[in-house]
Structure 1
Amino acid sequence: MTRLSEEEQSIVALVRDFVDREVRPAVNEMEHANAYPGEFIEAMRRMGVFGLAIPGPYGEAAVSTSCYVHVTEELARGWMSLAGAMGGHTVVSKLILEFGTAEQKERYLPKMATGEIRATMALTEPGGGSDLQAMKTVARREGAGYAVDGAKTWITNARRSRLIALLCKTDPAAEPAHRGMSILLVEHGPGLTVSRDLPKLGYKGVESCELFFEDFRAPGDAVLGGVEGEGFAQMMKGLEIGRIQVASRALGVGRAALEDSLRYAQERESFGRPIWQHQSVGNYLADMATKLTAARQLVLFAAERHDAGLRCDMEAGMAKLFASETAMEIALDAVRVHGGYGYSTEFDVERYFRDAPLMIVGEGTNEIQRNVIVRQLVSRGGLPL
């Protein structure tokens, strides 16, 4: 917390209090009912969470990326789905801030800052997965606008977001393929169908859907930045904050699992003493705390580079890779510490174990992160001192 200003610390404390007072007492019942957290989302909107990445003159409470990490961690500590509800929104905010035309910024950012407009991004396709350059969604020039055809899948907040940053091909014949890709800023309308909510192991409450575009009409000024062919590079830049955000979610899940385990290990007794005093359980707790601390430092390192305007695709990839794998390990160890109760749906631990895998495969799988990291290691001549 030493990296944060007093105002930023107050923001984190406000979110922490909201999580402890409102989210944690209700989350187990809501999560198992797969109920949309409408009241929680509205509370986040009132607190200004959706505007944390949007500075003036469009927003009021832009904070450092380090503060954003802590806010995301707190939300995920309560319910990872709440952090997911603002993840894609932040990426789209950053995309418009950095690449949008003046008109696009004026049209969207003030309402995005207040949460009146919530945004999501649409990258993944049913047959493409991580291979974005193989995408088949195409936007063809027709008159003054575009006709869009294609499908996207696993789109978080697909039904309730008013704005979609759609990555598609405006020049399907371009070689290499990424030079023909653009981001269109589109809103719901005729020709866009949102499917049923996709069933998921975890990450409940917030919807993930398929989007189907069939002769969907987008205006000519929908292209982010007004220039075709820049979409792939724009989205890769936007995913830097996206991967930091996913890593921060992993911190929240890991922290919740550790805190629950530490508390339980002090309350539960066996053979006449608290179970943390048994070396096997104590070792789990020590390793969990050490891994979580290391993961947090790696995430904050990426956040600081992002704030400094330095390239951080490798650092964000490292943070996402390590934090997500750590969250999965801590969640499993939390089940072990809780014993049979860790397998019970009456305890939060089993939810952490179901939520943690999303961070491993989301926002670019960890296998993709390793590819990003090694390419940067080669191009940068190794790790800088």
Structure 2
Amino acid sequence: MNAIPQATGTTVGMDDDIFEQFIEQLKRYVRERLIPAEAQVIAEDKIPDEILDEMREMGLFGLTMPEEYGGAGMNISQYVETIRQLSYALPAYRSITSINLGMVCSAIKNSGTDEQKAAWLPRLAAGEIASFGLTEPGSGSDSAAMQTTATRSGNGYVLNGTKRYITNAPFAKVALIMARTEKEALPRNAHVSAFLVPMDTPGISVGKSDKKMGQAGSHIADIIMEDVHIPGDALLGGAEGKGFQTAMQSLDNGRLSVAAASAGYARRILDTAIRYATERKAFGEPISNFQLIQAMLADSEAEIYAAECMIADACRRADAGEKVLVKAASAKMFASEMCGRVADRCVQIHGGAGYLAEYEAERFFRDTRIYRIYEGTTQILQLVIAKNMLREFAAGAN
């Protein structure tokens, strides 16, 4: 495949015709290259280096980077649609690129200094892998419980703490680390700052890759920091107290990415279920002729379409400059739950075969379960949505 042509501008995204050509090219690559390699990725629990190199050459690590930094300059709608198409294949392919694109790049673009943008965005666009360090053994969405500290030392800081369940940690070149720079501060969450930390900095170690239920080829691990000395210019944006705000802004993109991954994988799962239903025979005819099988297929199609519409609307609003915290949370919550239901129906349509590792349905069932957990569990997102609804109601009533 060819590299992605650069965008004509950094505010409106790629030219529509160029983007459509790229998507058609990506669809072919997914079906002709990535899906045939899935068995190897699963067996070796890693994406082959030659495929990673191809993805770098295609520009898949730089989709959202501004063109002046070597990226494609896609807008949010284009980026999320690319993720949806990429996610028709094994989740590991999206996982290796998405932290760069949807979270770390977003944080640097929105909050970084000019020097930080110039230093890091070209490297990320070229395919250096990044990690996003927010979650800890005792905290995730609860920043008040964060234990990682960044203590001032001369012109820099000393980091101490552990980050847990960090995607891509075993092969990341840089991590965006959230750390406590004050014991407590007002306004709320102003004690958290963000730092761009090279992973080869002395004092950083990475734990053993965690064994997971699914998503072979994608790796998570602890990042352990023991007296890690970093310069003052590692502070994202050059200002303390902005880390949690940066993390939450980046999570909007991260949640839209997970929503797109859920919708893209659900489409693959449904296609697999349809294929099996037309090939499998019972009582002398394909089981696709049975109305209760048809009902499961129809419910899946309707739910995938609903998720696609939610995602497209949230992205369109984000590109228009609207705040989409609630809509991104809603899209991620619905799409991830939907994907789980589609995977469950796929197993049910396969019957006893769906419980066997010989068939893809069993793997789909395991792979999809994480979508309801990371970038905000369904329950956390319910709280996010409800609290914002109540806040808006109270503001309107006054």
Deviates more, 1:144-153 or 1:16-25: 16-25
For residues 249 and 4 of structure 1, what CA distance do their matches in structure 2 show? Answer: 24
Question: What do the CA deviations read for 1:280-338 (whole angstroms, capped 9, x no partner)?
Answer: 10100000100000011111111111111110000000000000000000000000111
1:290 correspondence with 2:302: yes
Selected match of 1:15 from 17, 20, 26: 26
Aligned to 2:171: 160
Determine if the alignment matches structure 1 residue 239 to structure 2 residue 217: no
- 1:4–1:66 CA contact under 8 A, matched in 2: no
1:378 aligned onto 2:390: yes
Conserved in 2, the CA contact under 8 Å of 1:52 and 1:63? yes
TM-score, normalised to structure 2's length?
0.92
Give a deviation string over 1:28-72, Cα, whole Å, max 9, x none.
Answer: 342144234433322211111111111221134122222222221
- For residue 111 of structure 2, what is the aligned residue in structure 1? 99
Paired with 1:333 and 1:4, the residues of 2 have a C-alpha distance of 39
Give the distance between the partners of 1:303 and 1:176, measured in 2 at CA: 29
Aligned equivalents of 1:17, 1:199: Cα separation in 2:
31
Identity %: 35
Picking from 358, 365, 368, the partner of 1:353 is 365
Counterpart mapping for 1:155-194 below 5 A: 155-175=166-186, 178-188=189-199, 189-194=201-206
Task: After TM superposition, list the pairs within 5 Å mapping 1:1-385 onto structure 2.
Answer: 5-90=16-101, 91-115=103-127, 117-175=128-186, 178-188=189-199, 189-381=201-393
Q: Equivalents in 2 of 1:342, 1:263: separation in Å?
A: 13
After TM superposition, give the deviation of residue 14 of structure 1 in Å. 1.9
The aligned amino acid for 1:298 is: M
Matched to 2:139, the amino acid is G
After TM superposition, the structure 1 stretch with the greater mean CA deviation from structure 2, 48-57 or 325-334, is 48-57
Matches of 2:145 and 2:188, distance apart in 1: 8
- Does structure 1 retain, via aligned residues, the 8 Å contact 2:47–2:92? no
CA-based RMSD: 1.7
TM-score (norm. length: structure 1): 0.95
Q: Take 1:327 and 1:296, find their aligned partners in 2: how far apart are those partners? A: 12
**Structure 2 residue ranges without an equivalent (≥5):** 1-13
Q: Report runs of 4+ in structure 1 exceeding 4 Å deviation.
A: none
| C-alpha displacement of 1:242 | 0.5
CA distance in 2, matches of 1:161, 1:35: 14
Shift of 1:269: 1.7
Q: Rate the CA distance shift 1:60–1:124 in 2: closer, same or farther, 3 A.
A: closer
Q: Provide the secondary structure at the position in 1 that maps to 2:140.
A: coil
Q: Distance in 1 between matches of 2:79 and 2:352?
A: 36
The answer to whether the Cα contact below 8 Å between 1:153 and 1:211 also exists between their aligned partners in 2 is: yes
